[in-house]
Amino acid sequence: MKAKHLNPEKLKECTGRTQNHLVQLDQDYLVHKEVLIAFNSLKEEAAFAGFDLTAVSTFRPFEEQLEIWNNKAKGKRALLSDEGEPLDFNSLSEEEVVFRILRWSALPGASRHHWGTDIDVIDRKGLPDENYRVQLVPSEYAENGIFGGLSSWLDQRIKDREAFGFYRPYDTDRGGVAPEMWHLSMRPVANEYLNDFSFEVFEEFLKSDAYEKMELRHIVLKNAKKIYEQFVLNVNLNF
């Protein structure tokens, strides 16, 4: 049974407003303290297979996710179609804008990256040159993409349950978050946060002062149940 209420510190962990549960992965990134050893073990195994498994995004605080959200809600950053193509912002209704954002970016306070359990990865050896800007798009992880080899290797490790607890929460299109083959999650720890983050907790937090500066908040509140079910709960359960 999911908890209806959380103590204040646990709520901060769930919603990206504390770093007390995190440790340094390297000079640039933080991860949950229970994720560090597992990721380094996976990185070592990847090296044996000829890949340089490298984190390019880990913990993301609430404020950073809020900035991403607001920029997209104002049309300052591109909104994408299901195929990853830019859309005409001015042709969309406010509700359409909200659901276009959610297809590719998490709601502030409801991102798995707040937990420190989820990591976006690349194969640094696959970079064509040092100036290449990683996009984190499906084509990079396709069979013939620059990170296709790593992606296939991860597929097999996850299938064989030899990925040290990591899996892909967005491995296929379930009508929520678009597939993200670069997105790994430490399932045992992440599931604890997901179980704690009940709809009651989510809805109550949406009404808090933390969202005072969030664009299109009224649309999010109106669609809270749908958003929770489609974009928070709707992840890979086959592990």
Tokens of residue 129, six digits: 């040159």
- What average pLDDT is seen over the chain? 96
Distance from C-alpha of 3 to C-alpha of 40, rounded to nearest angstrom? 32
Percent of the chain with pLDDT over 90: 93
pLDDT of 196 over the 70 cut: yes
Q: What is the pLDDT of residue 89?
A: 97
Q: What is the pLDDT of residue 5?
A: 76
* Mean per-residue pLDDT, 153-161: 98
Q: Which CATH architecture has domain 8-232?
A: 2-Layer Sandwich (3.30)
* Mean per-residue pLDDT, 187-207: 96
Q: Where are the domains of the chain?
A: 8-232
Among 167, 131, 124, CA closest to 146? 124
Cα distances (Å, whole numbers) of residue 63 to 27, 28, 173:
20, 17, 28
pLDDT of 96 over the 60 cut: yes
Q: What is the pLDDT of residue 6?
A: 87
pTM of this prediction?
Answer: 0.94
Distance from C-alpha of 79 to C-alpha of 66, rounded to nearest angstrom? 15
pLDDT of 2 over the 50 cut: no
pLDDT in tens, 40-85: 999 999 999 999 999 999 999 999 999 999 999 999 999 999 888 8
Distance from C-alpha of 49 to C-alpha of 227, rounded to nearest angstrom? 39
Q: Any idea what the Cα angle at residue 85 is, between residues 56 and 59, rounded to 5°? A: 20
Chain-centroid distance of CA 105 in Å reads: 8
pLDDT of 237 over the 80 cut: yes
E-strand ranges in the chain read 22-24, 30-32, 53-57, 118-123, 166-167, 183-186
In the structure, what pLDDT confidence band is assigned to residue 239 with cuts at 50, 70 and 90? low
* Mean per-residue pLDDT, 177-192: 97
Distance from C-alpha of 28 to C-alpha of 44, rounded to nearest angstrom? 19
* Mean per-residue pLDDT, 160-179: 97
* Mean per-residue pLDDT, 14-19: 98
Q: Dihedral sign, CA of 211, 104, 62, 226?
A: positive
Q: What is the pLDDT of residue 3?
A: 44
pLDDT of 153 over the 50 cut: yes
* Mean per-residue pLDDT, 219-235: 98
